[in-house]
Chains A and B, each alone.
Chain A
């Protein structure tokens, strides 16, 4: 009996001790704790999805509204019957310009009202009215008043509450700009997704058909939403807090586990990182320069992390045209415009020489290994990129990075007419392209150019410094400076630059079409993104064929894009540099943390932040 008492006593003590030490786990809906993430981008500007254009706002309203055609986090492609997506399927007619879109019939707004095609149409009408500040008008071929736009969605017809017929494609216009027909476009489906459905019955009650008044109420939130979180509380400069929506059906566990989602405004990246390490932030992204140190910190299980390659790249973009007289790529009749020559970068041999002279692998560097410290700008946390492609692309370009070969670079530069005439170690023009074609007096001019990037981006600043040093090794003078981002954008859009270092973040679903950056149509000083003024008719033809291929079979399009990527690789309008490694991290106390590439929070409704209380 004494022994039994002893065991009972010890058991009780042990149970009490365990109760104090073992964390409490969630038991059901809304008991999974508060999920906090950080944000350095400032406050949101709106909670209305179709007028928002900044990432902070979209990170908030994405929890409250469905997509018309959602992206499957596993395939990174548009897919039917995906969580928080309305589409249950779609098909095209034989012309390829009429899509019939079928919607799920099993979802409702949180007030029980069915989510129907009318909800999407209300948002479409609001955007298309042109009376709001929405940038989404670019999804349509024209506004409601007939003003031409450059999108693909021409008209939408309501078949029934769960079926839409959408006419979409590249518009054929008459002289007055009216759309007279459509030609199929394989990436037009992305424009449909540009507009987010909203609960029409509540928006109509609030705004009627006075679309212009929507801008006057940017933080309007309807009483019914569709997503894991809702009811945002916005405290300027501090936080945006949303609470769990218990009626949301598309969950992993059958309920939303976290009680609250918080976007904490922490404007300094160092402070944000330290606050995450201190446990004040539940999940975050770790910048490339901290990833090696964080891996070591996380080794003991205090933190969880997941790494993947980013969907984008950093590059040095050249100006191939005369920077003193920027011209559009096409004139009013659609004919190619003579844009003059850039003294240095019009010559493909120079651009190729630079590809050999810049050591991208050295910039990417290596992670620490034993006693060996990390090297390079990215400290091994990146991947070389050498043409217009993405790490999540469905196209294998089959190319290899340019080898670092300064000797080959000098050979190419000599062939291009850039040699060291006077033995001072610097290259000068000696019958280079510009001297031959434009101004013979250019002979003797040094191979020197201005390179700029945006101040504050440490990786880009160090990249610029490295390019300056590496090109100096072969006698090229680079005047590098880091300037305000707005000034940089002005410079590149005005096409008065020599070379810039910047990056593209590529969207989802990724399509390799690059006509928005590498075509005469996109080359518009002041606004176009074809600011290199690179124009290759063969490439234009490839973009056109790949995006209008009947049936849009990816197998057939793949070959066209491979050819396009090869041309860009050889002609080097950009010096492609690298893509960063993305590290998504969470506290070790988060259960069900299961991130996917580019979708780190796809199952956030199942997360359980274990409390030690």
Chain B
């Protein structure tokens, strides 16, 4: 098993490299750029010279493979091409920490980094660069959004499994009867209804009409003084169990697809298991129907579900973008959408790396779980 995991992890390296190379290439060839819309924001005042100077400072007028090389291994290995024209590329070092003089307010925890910096160490050495749009280290920008998405993702996975699996078992047990037919209809509806529409309808009914649930966000909006003297928001002071009401609607919207999928898959798996020899043996031994269904059939039918973990992670990350937008959830999905809109290459690429890594890791965990659950599997 250990050798298998090591082998899978080693295989993941070229996979991730390929993903980043393709992503960077596609992103570079996509129309627009980080500064493309800057001029349109103030057409009477911004001019060609200014935009060209900024492109030069950002290193955006280098060929895409040079930019990719810099992003991957750093500027000490892949240098910038000599700039031409009136550009005034600034030789500036990176990661200057924010001055903590008496002149700065302490309320802002965000630390910046220079978008002009051309001395990057590359992602292979842990430097994901600086966001063009937010002018802060990419990892910091992503880091403050990631907890919200993980919170949503784990809750979604939990709800999907703990609702979907029992529904599937129940449907198998009651095959052909009302419950089975009802879950089938429900699964079709859950799969067919678009996330954004369902989110808006839930908001209209439960937040704006009935007022039972909050209309958005991860927590109540507040501004509080933290013990260290800095300013914080609700998520800094209110524990998760006191803000579960904020999760109900977004988790439901994200989970419906999983519930539908798990219930149908579980039903099929159960029905296949029920015709196996060991179930027949159990019945022949005179075990109760409950024992046969739950102890023998259900436990074995659960094994293939372990392979769902990888696709589930991908599905949740993908669905999070829409759900987080509808519910103003401050997560990674929304950040990625904004980054793509702004052509914020460093944030887009870091998101790609994180997404790809999570997917690869999820698939490896799936394999491990499969082997653990099913003793017949040996790597």
Contacts and interface: CB of A to CB of B under 8 A. Distances in A.
Contacts of A232: 105, 107-108
Interface stretch (B29-37, B160-168, B250-258): B29-37
Interface stretch (A16-24, A92-100, A266-274, A463-471): A266-274
A479 B218 CA distance: 44
B245 to A, nearest CB: 15
B114 A55 contact: no
B47 to A, nearest CB: 4
Given A148-B49, A216-B98, A43 B134 contact: yes
B39 A529 contact: yes
B272 interface: no
A80 B37 CA distance: 33
Contacts of A45: 133-135
Interface string B16-48: 000000000000001111001111111111111
Contacts of B235: 235
B216 interface: yes
Contacts of A233: 107-108, 223, 231-233
Interface residues on B, range: 35 or more
A517 B54 contact: no
A401 interface: no
A260 interface: yes
Contacts of B58: 133
Interface stretch (B5-13, B276-284, B324-332, B348-356): B324-332
Nearest to A238: B330
Contacts of A137: 50, 53
Given A191-B45, A215-B135, A220 B98 contact: yes
B215 A213 contact: no
A194 B42 CA distance: 11
B216 A266 contact: yes
Contact of A265 (B33, B111, B134, B328): B328
A564 to B, nearest CB: 15
A337 B117 CA distance: 38
A151 B92 CA distance: 26
B204 interface: yes
Nearest to A213: B96
Contacts of B326: 268, 271
A76 interface: no
A42 B51 CA distance: 23
Interface in A210-251: 212-213, 215-223, 231-239, 241, 243
A135 interface: yes
B54 A135 contact: yes
Contact of B343 (A219, A486, A528): A486
A87 B82 CA distance: 44
| B contact face: mostly helix, strand, loop, or mixed | loop
Contact of B108 (A150, A151, A201, A221): A221
Contacts of A484: 31-32
B208 A277 contact: yes
Contact of A133 (B57, B203, B325): B57
B144 to A, nearest CB: 5
Interface stretch (B174-182, B334-342, B367-375): B334-342
Contacts of A202: 103
A413 interface: no
A557 to B, nearest CB: 16
Interface string A148-159: 111100000000
Contacts of B90: 130-131, 212
B157 interface: no
B113 interface: yes
B134 A238 contact: no
Contacts of A270: 200
B204 A274 contact: yes
A504 interface: yes
Given A223-B102, A524-B48, A218 B112 contact: yes
A393 interface: no
A131 B114 CA distance: 10
Given A219-B108, A485-B341, A236 B330 contact: yes
A140 to B, nearest CB: 10
Interface string B139-154: 0010011001000000
B208 A527 contact: no
B217 interface: yes
Contacts of B95: 216
Nearest to B214: A280
A237 B330 contact: yes
B159 interface: no
A216 B113 contact: yes
B6 to A, nearest CB: 37
A332 B259 CA distance: 66
Given A212-B92, A271-B200, A223 B105 contact: yes
A528 B39 CA distance: 9
Given A135-B38, A215-B114, A143 B88 contact: yes
25 contacts: A45-B135, A53-B42, A135-B46, A150-B48, A151-B47, A190-B44, A213-B114, A216-B113, A216-B114, A217-B104, A218-B110, A220-B98, A223-B104, A232-B105, A236-B330, A237-B329, A239-B233, A271-B203, A271-B327, A274-B208, A486-B30, A486-B37, A487-B32, A516-B43, A529-B39
Interface of B: 30-33, 36-54, 57-58, 86, 88, 90, 92, 95-99, 101-105, 107-108, 110-117, 133-136, 141, 144-145, 148, 200, 203-204, 207-208, 215-218, 221, 223, 231-233, 235, 325-331, 334-335, 338, 341-343
Given A138-B45, A212-B114, A217-B99, 9 more contacts: A42-B338, A54-B41, A133-B116, A137-B53, A235-B235, A236-B110, A237-B148, A486-B32, A527-B48
Interface of A: 36, 42-43, 45-47, 53-55, 130-133, 135, 137-139, 143, 145, 147-151, 190-191, 194, 201-203, 205-207, 212-213, 215-223, 231-239, 241, 243, 260, 262, 264-268, 270-271, 274-275, 277-278, 280, 483-491, 493, 504, 506-507, 513, 516-517, 524, 526-529
Closest 9 pairs (CB-CB, A-B): A486-B32, A237-B330, A487-B31, A490-B31, A202-B103, A218-B135, A216-B96, A527-B48, A235-B233
